[in-house]
Structure 1
């Protein structure tokens, strides 16, 4: 069964970047992204599943109590998927943004993460 772009966006956020278990995260990465996926973050470009997996682990280690939460529902147009997110301590987002992905044959081939706002602590 081929995953839709919207399904891939939900999996990207919840099963990859929210997953604390490295083995489950690695399995989700293998099912979600092409081997040569390209991920554009605001300050870097990563190439390949291994780099994406390493960066996901870094994000978890930097803020182990933070979670990603979807904002709205995942949407799609042809081979493009989109999902807004919040990232921070549960119920107190520190960052908001969106992920946009190009997909092909049921996997993400290119991912763009756009940060739209960084919230100052109150």
Structure 2
């Protein structure tokens, strides 16, 4: 596996999942994703630019306004697969969640996005 910057997966995190304006987000989705791309969550999937855009809107509406997704490590890529660890944090640095994005690529465009959210740490009594 080689490590390098993958603008597509990084741009997806920063410009899709941090973009509150649906119109701007859709433009970026159309640039970064193939038309029939699929976004996979734990228990659901969303196919196509419009469905993915709607789902991202729904996710962002559940978050505090100052929450931002940030890369939490290096991008690694192996042929047409790339992964990027991330955190979701408030402006003060408080981490709300962490996880990893894994994408399949066709050239420089995303064909599928798999979101993995790390289970919250459970304090032992």
Q: How does 1:51-66 map to 2 (within 5 A)?
A: 51-63=51-63, 64-66=65-67
The structure number with the bigger radius of gyration is 2
**What is the CA-CA distance between 1:119 and the residue it aligns to?**
5.2
Taking the aligned partners of 2:73 and 2:5, their CA distance within structure 1 comes to 15
Taking the aligned partners of 1:104 and 1:5, their CA distance within structure 2 comes to 17
Taking the aligned partners of 1:5 and 1:82, their CA distance within structure 2 comes to 11
- Unaligned 5+ residue runs, structure 2? none
Does residue 33 of structure 1 match 2:22? no
> Which residue of the partner structure matches residue 105 of structure 2?
103
Q: How does 1:78-93 map to 2 (within 5 A)?
A: 78-90=79-91, 91-93=93-95
Does residue 70 of structure 1 match 2:71? yes
> The residue matched to 1:118 in structure 2 has which SS?
coil
Would you say how many aligned residue pairs link Structure 1 and Structure 2?
Answer: 117
- Unaligned 5+ residue runs, structure 1? none
CA-atom RMSD in angstroms: 1.8
Higher strand share: 1
TM-score by length of 2: 0.85
